[in-house]
Chain A
Amino acid sequence: MSITAVAFVPAAPLLVPQVAGGSAGLDQPMRDASLDVVAGAIADRAAEVIVVAPTGTAARWPSDATWDFAGFGVARGQSDRRPVLPWPLGIGAWLLDEVGWDGPRRYLGVSPADDVAAATAQGTTDGAQVVIAVGDGSACRTERAPGYLDDRAGAFDARIADLLARGDAAGLGGIDTALAADLMCAGLPVWRWVSATVGDAEVGAAELVTHVAPYGVGYFVARWSIS
């Protein structure tokens, strides 16, 4: 196991300015923070970057796969024959493009139904690897939230924020899955995968850069360095 760093970023489509349209500037601080943690994670020239994101079913995509947000009604305006990633992985791919990562990539889709151990074995190889973990917390923080207000959402997200801030990998693996489903938490399978993959390795440094919920969805930007 050779994970050297994990960058935690939101799974919000509006992170991509082409998707956000004219309001892209509203979320620029979160976008900047996400780009910053991704750039920091790859700064030591990792052998490979693994993007892990929630998808309907567990699957892998090749290094040359690319993002496309046409299903949100956004035309990319370019055509090539590369495989197209499911959009949550596409967010990770877009971030890597933006920070100029031209090394090898691996894309791993995970779902709440996954066997975590099997998914973990699929994801990792020898060599220094950086993980971009795409996911977010509850979608029930306010009455205007996608999942309406759930009184449990604030505490749920606060716990996620605390785990990320403390670099608590084991804790990330212990999130209440039923509660996460109730709260429409997109990050659960991703964080379980990170937890299992990091395993007993020591998180040398952890920083929660941002935790905000401007639209009722709990967004987190965080970075871990793994010793």
Chain B
Amino acid sequence: MGSVLRWGRPEFGPTDLVVMAIVNATPDSFFDRGRTYGTDAALDRVAQVIDEGAEIVDIGGIKAAPGGDVDVAEELRRVLPVVEGARERHPDVVISVDTWRSEVADVLCSAGADVINDAWGAVDPALAAVAASHGAGLVCTHAGRQSPRTRPHRVWYDDVVAEAAAYLVDLAEAAVAAGVRRDGIVIDPAHDFGKNSRHSLQLTRATDVLVATGWPVLVAMSRKDFIGEVLDQLPDERLEGTLAATAVAAWLGARVFRAHDVTATRRVLQTVAAIRGDTDLALGRRALA
């Protein structure tokens, strides 16, 4: 049985399945391609995903793929007003910020962010200390030791599951040593980051191995290339594959699901929880009248 996860005001119990909605304050992310770029558009997206059932919003200002440089000032220009606005309008929602930079995370946590989603895996050694100083949560990520915004190229793992599990446990313990709350840490195998599609499938298949470390597991699989390569489909046509992977990961014990499609993900997780027997029917009428 896992532990309670405390991010912001809510507490997430071991059997809770939680949606972290992606909010891209970017002009060029791979799926939405700028649809939520700009403070107003991003805040509209925040309101929408909360309405759809997201408990967490994950706000990021830099796309993962290579491209034009986005410096600290530009990252903050994109993200800070969104965090401030979200905090003001939605005091109970958990605000996560997707950044690898400690100076950015420090400003955003001061503005009300509850969690730092360190999607590139501790490339900035000061990031955990920032989380600690703010009492914020931290997503510890296995990005295959890639530099931020670089693509994996011919990456080879003798055992990607064992490597990711060992690496993530070390990272989580290092975060604790740096002062991050133990009940604020989750681990993320980072599908596609520093991995080919088969590696991401192996990690999905072995979600239970990561769960067995005792750390809550977050999975970020939404519309990613490994889904696309399974199906030979572009991002717009990856919803069903994403939801299938979501169901499998949930069944195997993942607890937090970073997603573009909140309503669909919420329904999948609700169904998985009911199959597991963790939640009751929302409506119990069939053959019961």
Contact = CB atoms under 8 A, between A and B. Distances in A.
Interface string A141-185: 001011110000000000000000000000000000000000010
A72 B196 contact: yes
Give the size range of B's interface with the partner: 10 to 19
Contacts of A13: 154
B66 A73 contact: no
Identify which of A21, A72, A139 gathers the most chain B CB atoms within 10 Å of its CB.
Answer: A72
Interface string A64-92: 00000001111000000000000100000
A146 B156 CA distance: 15
B11 to A, nearest CB: 37
Interface in B57-110: 66-67
B276 interface: no
A73 B201 contact: yes
Contacts of A23: 232
A13 B153 CA distance: 10
Given A22-B232, A23-B232, A143-B66, A71 B151 contact: no
Interface in B127-180: 150-154, 156-158, 160
B199 A73 contact: yes
B198 interface: yes
A82 to B, nearest CB: 17
B3 interface: no
Interface residues of A, number: 17
Interface in A1-54: 11, 13, 21-23
Interface in B230-269: 232
A215 to B, nearest CB: 10
Contact of A72 (B66, B198, B232): B198
Nearest to A149: B66
Binding site secondary structure of chain B: loop
B76 to A, nearest CB: 24
B229 to A, nearest CB: 8
A21 B156 CA distance: 17
Interface in A176-211: 184
B153 A73 contact: no
B202 interface: yes
Contact of B156 (A87, A145, A147): A87
A155 to B, nearest CB: 21
A71 B158 contact: yes
A21 B202 CA distance: 15
A147 B153 contact: yes
B158 A146 contact: no
A169 B9 CA distance: 68
Contacts of A145: 151
Contact of B157 (A21, A71, A146): A71
Interface string B205-248: 00000000000000000000000010010000000000000000
Interface in B102-122: none
A148 B156 contact: no
A66 B33 CA distance: 45
Contacts of B199: 72-73
A146 B153 CA distance: 6
A74 B232 CA distance: 18
Identify which of A74, A87, A146 gathers the most chain B CB atoms within 10 Å of its CB.
Answer: A146
Contacts of A139: 153
A184 B158 contact: no
Given A143-B66, A146-B154, 10 more contacts: A71-B158, A73-B196, A73-B201, A74-B198, A87-B154, A87-B156, A145-B151, A147-B150, A147-B151, A184-B153
21 contacts: A11-B154, A13-B154, A22-B232, A23-B232, A71-B157, A71-B158, A72-B156, A72-B196, A73-B196, A73-B199, A73-B201, A73-B202, A145-B151, A146-B151, A146-B153, A146-B154, A147-B150, A148-B67, A148-B150, A148-B151, A184-B153
Interface of A: 11, 13, 21-23, 71-74, 87, 139, 143, 145-148, 184
* 10 nearest A-B pairs in the assembled complex, by CB-CB distance: A73-B198, A146-B153, A71-B156, A148-B66, A146-B151, A73-B199, A71-B157, A73-B202, A71-B158, A13-B154
